[in-house]
Amino acid sequence: MPTIAELHEGYTQKTLRPSEVVEKTISQIDSQDETVQAFLSVFEDDMRAHAKDLDTKQDRNEPFGLLEGIPVSVKDAILVKDKPTTAGSQILSSYTAVYDATVIHNLKQAGALIVGKTNLDEFAMGSSTENSAFQETRNPADTSRVPGGSSGGSAASVAADMCPASLGSDTGGSIRQPAAFCGVTGLKPTYGRVSRSGLVAMASSLDQIGPLTHTSLDAAYVLQGIEGADTLDATSTSLSSRQELNIDEIQNGDIAGLRIGIPQEYFGDGLSSEVQAALESVIESFGEMNTVIKDISLSTTEYAIPAYYVLMPAEVSSNLARYDGIRYGQSRFEEASSLQEIYTKSRASGFGEEVKRRIMLGTYVLSGGYYDAYYAQARHMQTHVRKDFTNAFKDVDVILTPTTPHTAFQAGSKADPLSMYLEDIFTVAVNLSGNPALSIPANPNDSTLPIGFQLIGNHFDEQTLLTLGHVWDRYIRQ
């Protein structure tokens, strides 16, 4: 599958027709997805109808926008009007969205082709896409392994060349970790840069929608198409001229003198030798590109995981209280003799084990006698994590870390919830702080399993991350 940039050029030069791209997309899904199982639904008729209109536009020699005619898959936690939205959960198995998420509205306005909905860990709770109520997605690089999660279906759909771009959501690394495992590029934007309206909420103060693509330049195209303030999301932010993306500057790729910080806390015990070697090679390569490599310290790193796994379940327990068997979704109304039984029977059969675990944990830390001991302390630590990054960016322009401690693991090998939670060890801190972060393949030309590295930027400085990522893409693919 060509990149977004290549598809746009093909449409402009008339060497590609939208209807041909749609048929190739559907053919690739038919040939690959039986094994990979990235998609929960595919919108073939809608794509063909849209492509027919775009063919006519092309015949009239009308210009195409950057995202016009671009196939984009969507994580099934993001609403697409009149289409099923399950969030990977049995409790929403019968739910059809009644409106478009703001990001979907923006993509449709830009002329993108919505390919279908991709699989995920139930309510975005997981790091392997094994927690879906419907199917287990596999890693296209090695189908005995997981694609990461929770946006594993989105990452796999791009990695298997079933589409050039996908939308995922990232609460603690759910875009970046699967991007690293599958060998694609994944961007978690600054909190508030992209509207969350129409995203099935997991932890509202941490969730952020972002793109998964083949290249950093493609990620910039998608981000530019979905970002901006939204009256439907009070946490979304109007961008200043300084915060807006400049695609020309990204393509120019001027990184001379850029200060790259290397936090020593991310390179200690637990990091596999293969990831360590790949990251050392990346750092050495950037050093040869006239950047300034600086050792830094992020002293709160070890506390990010425990703080996250108090704050996130607390918000989960609140957000998922709406799934009560009354208003929408699966209900056990006919089996119940009381209102309480409707609640308990609907939720017991509708939620999976991981969702129940996090609801219980969140309810516990918010309960009387434990709020101050756990939740309040975690909020206090979140403040320190934010300060840690703020201080670091006084001395550097970007921070470089591993995305994951190892490569994709075998399906079924992490039955212990705690070992699964530690998959987020390098990613959760930026969700607590609200900073943007980009995961990029470190070894796209190797025959070994994909390895990703992470670039963390200052708030609303996606420009620097994407410029550095674009320079790396050109370097590694030359």
Query: Which are the catalytic amino acids?
Result: 75, 150, 174
Residue type, 445: N
Torsion of CA 52, 55, 57, 61, to 10 degrees: -170
Cα–Cα distances (Å) from 324 to 84, 122, 136, 350, 354, in that order, read 19, 16, 26, 10, 18
Would you state the structure tokens that stand for residue 219, as one six-digit string? 């990620």
Question: Quick one: DSSP state of residue 268?
Answer: S
Evaluate the CA torsion angle 202, 313, 154, 76 in order and state its sign: negative
Number of C-alpha atoms within 13 angstroms, CB side, residue 314?
Answer: 20
**165-170, strands of its sheet edge to edge:** 39-42, 113-118, 71-75, 165-170, 208-213, 185-188, 437-441, 452-457, 398-402, 259-263, 292-296
Are 317 and 363 a contacting pair, CB within 8 Å?
yes
Q: Give the start-end residues of each E strand in 264-346.
A: 292-296
CA 76 from chain centre, in angstroms, equals 12
Question: What are the phi and psi torsion angles at 65 (to 5°)?
Answer: -70, 165
